[in-house]
Amino acid sequence: MTKKPALWIGLAVLAVASAAFSWRYFTRAFPLLSLDIRMDRQDALAGGRALATTEQLGPPEYRDAASFSLDETVQTFVELEGGGKPAFNALVVDRLFSPYRWRVRHFKEREQREVTFAFAADGSPSGFVETLKEDEPGAALAEAAARSIAESAAARAWHVDLAPFKTVEHSQEQRIGGRVDHAFVYELPDRRLGEGRYRLRLGVDGDKLTEVTYFIKIPDAFNRRYDNMRSANTAIGIGGSLAFLVLYGVGGIAVGLFFLMRDRWVIWRQPVFWGALVALAQTAATINEWPLAWMQYDTALSTRAFVAQQAALALTNLLVNVVLFSLSFMAAETLTRRAFPHHPQLWRLWKRDVANSREVLGRTMAGYLLVSVFIGYEVALYFVATTSLGWWTPSEALFNPDVLAAYVPWFSAVAKSFQAGFWEESMFRAVPIAGAALIGDRFGNRRLWIVAAFIVQAAIFGAGHAPYPTQPAYARPVELVIPSIGFGLLYLVFGLLPGIILHFAFDAFWFAMPIFASSAAGIRVQQAMVVAAIFVPLWVVLARRVQAGRWIDLPASEFNAAWRPAPAVAKDATQRAAPAAASLAPSIARGIVIGGVLAAVAWIAIVASLPAQRHSLRASRTDAAAAARAALAFAHLGSNWRFLPTPDEGGGPNERFVWKTAGRATYESLLGTYLSLPGWTVFVRTFQGDVAERAENWTAHIDRDGVVQRVSHVLPESRPGATLDVADAKEIARRTLVERFHIDAASLKDVSAAPSKLPERTDWTIIFSDASRSLPQGELRLAVRIAGDEVADAHRFVYIPEDWERAERNAQTVASIVRVAGGLLTAVLILAGVIAAIISWSRRQYAVLTFLAVFGVCLVLSAIRVANSFPAMMAGLATSQPLQLQLAILLGTSIVGLTLFAAGLGLIAGASPVWSAATGSLESRTAIKIGIALGALAAAARALSALVGSGLTGPVWPSYAGAGTFVPFLASAVGPVITMLTRVVVLVFASVSANWITAGWTRRRALAAILLWLVGGLLGTPGSPENLVLWIVSAALVGALLVAMYVGVLRHDVSALPFGVAVMTLTGTLREGWARPYPGALAGAIVAVVAMGAVAYWWFRALRQKLLISR
């Protein structure tokens, strides 16, 4: 850092001038809302308790939580199409509807009954919603009596003035317990926000008022227009993320560290320390905001399941962040140390006799002084852009009381800023610029490469912030060009420290603003802690100055130019001898083979006993599309309409409910009527024309023989139509059900009738129960949807009782936690394997040909699978977004994702022969026989687990997804081979990791056994862990089987593993193919079996080549 006083004087003057400018023009650049917040969190909680007691609302014993929130959808609509920012400001001060409001929730674990109160910012009650159990006793009132209760109770307790309102909707529903619930919707006829309408909903359950809700009815057309508008922001963000992943992740971290490791330039301890510290700070911030999490708590779950769910997410984020930040800091510092010898050594900046240097002090102070300059730039840019260029950014309120909901409010703001400053400067500045400098050193034109890196890093940094809610879509990328260049210049000249401090302090300014806008009790302590934390880097420098007693010039030994890698350790150049043959007693080998034969017989018996459903699709994807075209010929759809068939799968929640509660006989009797059989759903959509009109679509449901069973129609909200009363709507619904399903009209019992008042018509949804048949639990129901006077849909379904549905939701949540754990374990294994493989390759101990073979095969097969699945992906696209943009995103993400997936598996595969060289080698035929036997044992264990689980989770259905591809045969043939390759890579790495941990099973055996047990249990157990106890038992047994396989065989010769994995995988493939779910499934399964055998043999040969050393 230069010592010229003129520079420091100029910088200080610029900082003061920028601060003054920002202070004067801040509110003109960023429109701020003036909120009269007279209620704090404790007042909100107290207000909720008082209302609960006075009005007898919610559970008698409860837990409460509170949050101050903004209805962002309403804000966006009003500011863009409902009158602009002045209209939204007027809405904020209007007592009729409060976009900012306190919400107080009273709830109890496993209880359906709960209540949420709403309070305006000034503390006045503005509504509530109480949820009762569906079978709770109550009155069955007529509409008039219910309306009288609703209006009188709302006026008495909630001061609702209904004089200016008119009724627009009334719906009612007959509950299972006999109670009738009513909902009344009112509208202000003479006040609107553009196409938005002020509305009020009153709910009466039985004879009790259960809802008072003011809301703005936002037209669907706006939501579609906004989604279309935002798609450009999303696309820019995804493009930036892909570029970041490829250029910085692969190019900077993977490739950069690979070459630097070869030259022994990598320092790993300090970046891992700082990476773990930053990751822990983010996890601590999540825990710090725990009180707000209870607003999202699903009371169907136990509190333990909810806490476990949140803990699993936090742990996942922690592990991902530790790896991400550690590798990022490692690459940034190592590349910088190699590329810029004039920079101080980053990891020594706060050391004694370094931090007290004038160079470190200057860099620290420069970071702080530039904060006001960058804030001034933001103010100036948005002042010009919003007043002259028409840019839109949402209005801001400086004060957000939710910030104070955290245990330690200041910590979250500082922790988020700490991560942003340290990581973003490392990845967005150091990695690309230092990497470009090194490329320039290697190929020439260093300055040109650095200039190109400046452009790239500015583009990627801006694109990464494009998804923010601003318009035009390029607003944030353009805004960040100059800051990106400024950060880049700081790094180029002075290193990472000033940029990190500037970025950290700048973000902390914004994140902590609500704390400084608050006047709550005790807030001064929080404000002081924010200031103290922001200046921690300066405190360190000053502390080191006090320790040393003087300022010094930074010694030459502390610059990057003085750093030298440790000398290489001489290695014995003699060729390593082949490992001795593995010793496995012949009796043990024979026992394993005999066990495999018995397991194969057991597998056949178990599979034959599975309650498998065999309903083949006879109609192809083309047949389904043709049937839908014929059914919709009356609509005269043009060439711009697309017919997008997707196959229907079996075994949904309704099927599980009937299977569990009514038994197999009832289940099978309802298939094809109230329970769906596999068939086709053909989505008929257009991606052309007005985005609001593109909401119109048809959906044709085709049975397995290609016969149309049902056609539904969705119209745009603005389409004109009839306005029927409830009697006419019910008459149309009854007549439709009798004609379509040949049901006796006398057996139709009213359940609910719900209208939807639209600008030019009224839609109805009418639901009846079928009294001709009954179930032990639940009901058989029929629903008709009427758009105007057009019957838009009619279908049959099984109604699931609330108690059962909540129990199922709890089980599914627990199952999702287990699935997340399994996915996380797989990701950790693959990532650890990739890192270990890169290290092995950098040490020139690598089988390059094996890497290329596996990479190429995985890439080709994965590309075939994705291309073949294009029809299914096409059916999932949104008509509210540009088609070409969505296809471009699909193409880009697929290319990058498939390449990284194939590269990851290939990297581990290339190192596997070298890693397995330490193990012995069984005789080839013996190894193959044992491998096949182990696969049979694993297949039998998995089949047994599936059989036991089917008794609780329902019948076993094959997958019909392949039918929706271009070539179903390929889907059945390619998918299992990719699965097998992935399993082999993961299990080979797990096995060699166990070898490394135990040093040949001589130490730390328990640790290795736990690792293998987790891998086998979490990844090898089939079925869903809905019944957790049963699943844990099955997982324990499967995991123990893998441990036994390792101890008995794999630690002696891991080359037996590919045949074992192949047999385990092909048994499942054959079972799926034998069910013949669609034409080509069996033939594809047979081809997959042959291919897996060939792949297994190739893997077997590759793992037995013990001395593959790459040069």
Q: Which two tokens stand for residue 680?
A: 């086709």
Dist. CA 13–CA 6, nearest whole Å: 10
The amino acid present at 402, given as its one-letter code, is D
CA pair distance 484, 461, nearest whole angstrom: 7
One-character DSSP codes across 1048-1097: IIITT-GGGHHHHHHHHHHHHHHHHHHT--STTHHHHHHHHHHHHHHHHH
- Give dist(CA 333, CA 350) in Å, integer: 15
Nearest to 581 by CA among 993, 990, 924: 924
Token digits of residue 886: 């969505």
SS (H, E, C) 656-670: HHHHHHHCHHHHHHH
Annotated domain spans of the chain: 5-30+224-562, 52-222, 643-800, 824-1103
**Residue in the block written with tokens 């003129």:** 6
**CA distances (Å), 1006 to each of 210, 850, 1000, 1012, 1014, in order?**
58, 32, 13, 10, 12
Chain centroid to CA 1091: 34
Which pLDDT value is given to residue 951? 66
CA dihedral 872, 873, 877, 882 (to 10 degrees): -130
Instruction: Spell out a b/e string for 7-18, using b for 16 or more CB atoms within 10 Å of the CB, else e.
Output: ebeeeeeebeeb
Taking the C-alpha atoms of residue 862 and residue 902, their distance in angstroms, rounded to an integer, is: 8
Compute the distance between CA of residue 48 and CA of residue 60 in angstroms, rounded to an integer: 13
Tokens of 1034: 């099955």
Q: Residue 1023: its pLDDT value, please?
A: 64
What is the DSSP-derived secondary structure letter of residue 168?
E
With contact defined as beta carbons under 8 Å apart, do 357 and 441 qualify?
no
Q: What is the structure's pLDDT at 571?
A: 55
Q: Give the strand order in the sheet containing 790-799.
A: 63-70, 100-107, 114-120, 125-131, 208-217, 196-205, 180-193, 166-174, 748-757, 762-770, 779-787, 790-799
Which residue positions in the chain have pLDDT lower than 50? 572-581, 1107-1111
Strand order in the sheet with 641-647: 641-647, 680-686, 697-702, 708-714
Indicate the Cα dihedral angle 232, 238, 243, 244, nearest 10°: 130
Please give the pLDDT value at position 947: 82
Calpha distance 308→548 (Å, rounded): 49
Contact 51, 90 (CB under 8 A): no
Please calculate the CA angle 268-272-275 and round it to the nearest 5 degrees. Answer: 140
- What was the pLDDT predicted at 377? 94
- Measure the CA dihedral 816/820/826/829, to 10°: -150
Q: How do beta strands 100-107 and 180-193 pair?
A: unpaired
Q: Looking at residue 1109, what is its pLDDT?
A: 41
Q: Which of 389, 375, 273 is nearest to 326 (CA)?
A: 273
Q: What is the pLDDT of residue 32?
A: 64
Q: How far apart are CA 466 and CA 471, in angstroms?
A: 9
SS (H, E, C) 822-837: HHHHHHHHHHHHHHHH
**Whats the size of the chain, residue-wise?**
1111
Helix spans in 916-967 (H): 924-953
Cα(1107)–Cα(921) distance, integer angstroms: 13
Token pair, residue 1056, equals 């037996």
- Which pLDDT score, from 0 to 100, does residue 1046 have? 87
- Alpha-carbon distance of 606 to 217, in angstroms, equals 56
Q: Which of 837, 833, 847 is nearest to 1109 (CA)?
A: 847
Is residue 729 within 8 Å of 750, Cβ to Cβ? no
Q: Rounded CA gap, 165 and 187, in Å?
A: 5
Q: What pLDDT does 398 receive?
A: 62
Cα–Cα distance measured from residue 898 to residue 908, given in angstroms and rounded to the nearest whole number: 16
Report, in angstroms and rounded to the nearest whole number, the Rg of the chain calculated over CA atoms.
Answer: 33
Quote the pLDDT of residue 1: 52
- Residue 713, judged by CB atoms within 10 A of its CB (0-12, 13-18, 19+), counts as middle
Q: Report the distance separating Cα 231 and Cα 809, nearest Å.
A: 32
